[in-house]
Structure formats: structure tokens, C-alpha cells
Amino acid sequence: MKAVRSTTAKFEIQSLIANSAVALSHTEIQANTKGLCNRVTIYRVLERLMDEGLVHKVVNVDGVVKYANCHTCSTKHNHNHIHFSCQKCKSVTCLDDVEPTFKLPKKYKVNEMNFTLSGLCPQCS
């Protein structure tokens, strides 16, 4: 097992995500940590934060990968909630309390779900 080490880059990036109301992309994180560390380091820190269950990945409807704080994850990720993607301000928010229901027709085996609504967020509507 690899030992976890705390570094400035990791701390700053995790704080940034934890204090953000919306999910952040790699590009946004880079813009908000000017000069903190190398571009590659951000990728590697994000990977580690996901391994440690502190952050989860959200793929937006346009294919852009974003990262959000985990509220209830420890050893394994559990994200059966809806994400909301604002078409105007491009923010992506986790709607932690909403769980959708559906009935599957055939013999599919479901492991994960990824549900994103897009439209206007409360700030933009």
C-alpha cells in the first residue's frame, strides 16, 4: 500500500473543491491556483483525491470532466444522485437529495448511474 503524503498542492486543490458550491474542471482548478503547481500535478492530485474518496468525478453533458466534493464517501464512491448543469453559467451542481426512479426493461445489470439535468440554475433563471 502506498503511504499518503500531504503536500501544499494537494491541500490547496482539495480546499478549492471542498469550498466550491459547484463542480470544477481541471481548467478551472488550474485558473484558480495560478502558479501553485504544474499542470500535470493537478491531474495527479485529482487522481489521488479520488482514490482517497475525497472527490468524485462528474462528466458534464458536453463531455467536460469536473470534480466535486464527496459528502458521504469513504472506501467506495456512492453517487446515485442527480447533477444539474446550467446552460448559462456552465455550473455543475450535485443535487444530493434527489434519487430518480425508473424501470429497466431487459436483462441489463446496472452498476452505476450518471444522471444530469440541464437548464437554468436558480441563480440564472
Partner DNA sequence: TTTGCAATCGCAACATTGTTGCAATTAATT
Partner DNA sequence: AATTAATTGCAACAATGTTGCGATTGCAAA
Indicate whether 41 belongs to the interface with DNA (CB under 7 A). yes
The CB-of-62 to its own copies minimum distance in angstroms stands at 7
DSSP 3: P
- 51 counts as binding its own copies under rule CB under 8 A: no
Cβ-Cβ contacts under 8 Å for 3 (sequence gap 6 or more): none
Contact 100, 87 (CB under 8 A): no
Give the type of residue at 55.
V
CB 58 within 8 A of CB 92: yes
Size of interface with its own copies, in residues (CB under 8 A)? 38
| Binding partner at 16 among DNA, its own copies, none, C-beta below 5 to 8 Å by kind | none
Instruction: Give residues in contact with DNA (CB under 7 A).
Output: 2-10, 25-27, 37-41, 43-45, 48, 63-65
